[in-house]
Chains A and B, each alone.
Chain A
Amino acid sequence: MSITAVIIDDDLLTLADLAHSCDVSPEWIVARLEAGLLNLTITDAQQARYTSAELTRARRLCNIERDFDANPELAALVVDMMEEIERLRCPIRSLDKHVVDV
């Protein structure tokens, strides 16, 4: 029997899901949301729903904080740099001289 997987972005995570998935408390997530470390602007963390990208960022923050006893701001700086490196490693879009729709 095969199990159907669900894309997170089609069935977004609740605060409790996100916290459980990172093995932290919801308060841990809320504190980082309020400090702007998850790069999200939301007014109600409990009602908000979270994407794959936010899960990746929260897990990275959590790992860096735990592995290096890093303070949250420093961990966020490291994660910002990781994300920047990923963007830079993406193949650079070739300069569009001319795109033709066919």
Chain B
Amino acid sequence: MEFQDYYKTLGVDKTASAEEIKKAYRKLARKYHPDVSKEVDAEKKMQAVNEANTVLSDPEKRAAYDQVGQGYQSGQDFRAPPNWDGGFEFSGGNFNDTSDFFSNLFGQAGKRSHGRRQYQERGEDKHAKIIIDLLDTYQGATRNITLRAPEFDATGHTVTKERTISVQIPKGVKAGQHIRLNGQGSPGFGGGAAGDLYLEVQFREDARFRVEERDVYQTVPVTPWEAALGGSIEVSTPSGAVQVKVPANSQTGRKLRLKGRGIPGATAGDLYLLLEVVLPPADSDAAREIYETMARELAFNPRTGA
């Protein structure tokens, strides 16, 4: 287990006052706030900052941490001495998204303190994001998710255990919605029920599709003759291949709506096909001749509207 230098995480001195710690925390919270930050790994960094603040902003935890961490450097292999927390009383451990180091030090103490009070409480809900493909919401999908949770080992120490669960993503879920997995959050205390796991759904970026609520937009390349003359073309859509009738005299940007072929649901969204006319390259004598004939025969100038 690696020693975590919480002072270094917050960028403050070991002698920092409570006010300095608060100030440093707020500055970093603004920098790494997952809802607004553009930093890489903002969520992970925010967790580290939250954990450091949880310890350093609590006088009891800070004093215990200072005592046990004497002489340790960040990242150094760490093992807490027996009864290191004698004389300290913690108000309980928040097990959500904390490092092994934190769980080992404060998780254990928190649990013991709960036990003494014959306390029963439902476990905390956990929150995470899950990224799925757009096609997954059309068909439903199964995804494996790895969860980390603290548990007691045979010696009574807290260890972080990983477990992988297989989750069935329901058909028709849209970006920004939460899905809930009952009882998959943190374990309860004193026989209390486990919390739930909430997953916020996001779609993986896909250059082929754009999604607005339940409506899906898909760009479809067409030849100039398909656009000009109209006709039936086959399009591969998220719900499968469909034959689509292109109206004659279509231009780039024309939208064709396929009702009910957006994201499924009680009220399914629509699928919009955006036509994009693609010109064949004039890279052969035959192709050049066709363009020259068009130039001669068609009195067409898009800049004059003729």
* A interface with B by C-beta (< 8 Å): 1-11, 20-21, 23, 52-53, 55-56, 59-60, 63, 67-69, 82, 90-91, 93-94, 96-102
The majority secondary structure among interface residues of chain A is mixed
A-B contacts at CB below 8 angstroms, number: 108
Known pairs A21-B125, A94-B274; A3 contacts B259 (CB<8 A): no
Does B245 lie at the interface of the complex (its beta carbon under 8 Å from any beta carbon of A)?
Answer: yes
- Top-9 shortest CB links A-B: A2-B166, A5-B179, A67-B29, A8-B178, A52-B177, A52-B178, A99-B255, A4-B168, A21-B125
Kindly provide the distance from the CB of A75 to the nearest chain B CB, expressed in whole angstroms. Answer: 12
Closest chain B residue, CB of each to CB of A2: B166
Report the stretch among B104-112, B193-201, B287-295 that lies at the interface.
B193-201
Per-residue CB proximity of B176-215 to A under 8 Å, as 1/0? 1111111010000000000110111000000000101000
A94 & B166 in contact (Cβ 8 Å cutoff):
no
CB neighbours of B200 from chain A (8 A): 52, 56
B176 & A1 in contact (Cβ 8 Å cutoff):
no
* B interface with A by C-beta (< 8 Å): 22, 25-26, 29-30, 33, 35-36, 50, 122, 124-125, 127, 142, 165-170, 172-173, 176-182, 184, 195-196, 198-200, 210, 212, 217, 244-245, 247, 253-259, 272-274
Across the interface, B168 reaches (CB within 8 A) one of A3, A8, A21, A90, namely A3
CB neighbours of A6 from chain B (8 A): 170, 179-182
Closest chain B residue, CB of each to CB of A102: B256
Known pairs A20-B195, A56-B200; A8 contacts B179 (CB<8 A): yes
B259 & A68 in contact (Cβ 8 Å cutoff):
no
